[in-house]
Copies of this chain bind each other. A is one copy, B any other.
Amino acid sequence: MSEVLEIGRRARQAAARLGTTSTKVKDEALAAIADALVDRTDQILVANAEDVQRGREEGLSSALLDRLTLTRERVAAIAQALRDLIGLKDPVGQVLDGWTLPNGLRIQKVRVPLGVVGIIYEARPNVTVDAAGLCLKSGNACILRGSRTAISSNIALATIIEDAGTAAGLPPDSVQLIRSTDRESAKELMRARDHVDVLIPRGGADLIRTVVEESMVPVIETGVGNCHVYVDARADLEKALPILINAKTQRPSVCNAAETLLVHRDVAEAFLPGAIGALKEHGVELRGDEGARAYDAGMTSATEDDWYAEYLDLILAVKVVDSLEDAIAHINTYGSNHTDAILTEDYSAARKFQLEVDSACVVVNASTRFADGGEFGFGAEIGISNQKLHARGPMALAEMTSYKYLVQGTGQVRA
């Protein structure tokens, strides 16, 4: 049996026990794992240094090397994120609904774990611990398949999680790392329908597309955010500028940062000159349509690709639109159904925008940067779903569950 199938078989067994493990044991295990990560930081850093050294030799970019690198402080932060999960409500066992049929059958709809969750991810070793923690708290066994770049770090982290978790009473194999990092191991995981209930890819757009296209296991697509800020004809321009600046520049590398600014023609003259100046002061490069370039002759001309782009950088596409309807149509055509904001004082415009924009989060008069599990008050986040099936938008513990129907009878048969 291959490594992946053997891991899958064990994960299924672990899931059967983990699904009925008490919240107390799961929380104690999270605390024990957090303590072990801190206690064994030296071991983690030695393993991580191997990955970083190899990465340097292989010419990884400085951004990738930064994501790969662990420090004492970063390990402490990773451990703290696990401890933060302890305070959150365990979703397993929550009764979502319940009723009694005319024949006396009692039906309850109760949250249960998904079962076995596979995570395919890239260079960040913190995902190893984050994902394991979220899976454990929600009662799911987890199979981690990280990249070769971080393999030494991941082995060190996964070993500590397994040791400390099992010692604290978790079923063995609750968290397993696939050690082969060749293409075949990922493919095998994507075909392992009998062993894996859902796959969540975490990483860049290429990784996610590959998993979505190749997986036979159900996938939750996360991560791509081409977010829009639309300044309506009746926007309060005093509010609009700080929101726009925040949405674009507060952290441009993340999926809920704004990538396109749409401005209604009626306020373009009042808003754009000041906005262009302020954006440039924040180091933002602008790419505009003709309407936008009328206010800045030096602005690069936007191409069709710019409207689709998720820059994840200090670049912003800018377009002047003739109407609210045009803004909505642009967003639904070019957007990624993630998060889009309208800035307006017009009740009907706000209502129409929220109804018709087909995105996970539709915001009125606030920054797109709030579309986040932490900001929403979920206390954790496994990712932001771009799809409509199962979960949409920020996903936390409840989104890591399914449900079952418990039917209690007294001898009923169907007529």
Contact = CB atoms under 8 A, between A and B. Distances in A.
Interface of A: 16, 19-20, 99, 101, 105, 107, 112, 114-115, 193, 197-198, 212-213, 216, 218-220, 236, 239, 242-243, 245-247, 250, 332, 350, 354-356, 358-367, 369-371, 375-377, 387-390, 392-394, 402-414
Contacts of A375: 101, 414
A99 B376 CA distance: 9
A184 B352 CA distance: 39
Q: Is the interface of A mostly helix, strand, loop or mixed?
A: mixed
Given A16-B356, A404-B361, A366 B242 contact: no
A350 to B, nearest CB: 8
Contact of A387 (B218, B350, B394, B411): B218
B216 A212 contact: yes
28 contacts: A16-B332, A19-B358, A20-B356, A101-B377, A105-B370, A107-B376, A212-B216, A239-B410, A239-B411, A242-B411, A245-B413, A350-B408, A354-B406, A359-B404, A360-B404, A360-B405, A361-B405, A362-B406, A362-B407, A365-B408, A366-B407, A366-B412, A369-B413, A370-B409, A376-B405, A393-B404, A393-B405, A394-B405
Contact of A366 (B359, B362, B409): B409
Nearest to A364: B408
User: Which 7 pairs of residues, A with B, have the shortest CB-CB distance?
Assistant: A366-B409, A388-B402, A246-B413, A239-B411, A369-B414, A390-B390, A366-B412
A402 B367 CA distance: 24
Given A16-B358, A247-B413, 5 more contacts: A16-B332, A197-B387, A197-B388, A243-B411, A250-B414
A365 B409 CA distance: 5
A358 to B, nearest CB: 7
A376 B409 CA distance: 13
Contacts of A114: 388-389
Given A107-B376, A193-B212, A198 B389 contact: yes
A411 B16 contact: no
Contacts of A218: 218-219, 387, 389
Nearest to A215: B216
B388 A242 contact: no
Number of copies: 2
Nearest to A353: B406
A234 to B, nearest CB: 15
Contacts of A366: 105, 407-413
A375 to B, nearest CB: 7
A392 B99 CA distance: 17
A367 B414 CA distance: 7
A412 B367 contact: yes
A365 B370 CA distance: 49
Interface centre among A361, A377, A389, by most chain B C-beta atoms within 10 angstroms, is A389
Contacts of A355: 19-20
Given A362-B407, A408-B364, A414-B246, A390 B393 contact: no
Given A218-B218, A243-B411, A388-B197, A362 B16 contact: no
A409 B236 CA distance: 13
A328 B198 CA distance: 23
Contacts of A219: 218
Contacts of A360: 404-405
Contacts of A363: 407-409
A284 to B, nearest CB: 16
Contacts of A16: 332, 356, 358
Contacts of A213: 216
Given A218-B219, A219-B218, A404-B393, A364 B250 contact: no
B358 A414 contact: no
Contacts of A107: 376
A122 B13 CA distance: 36
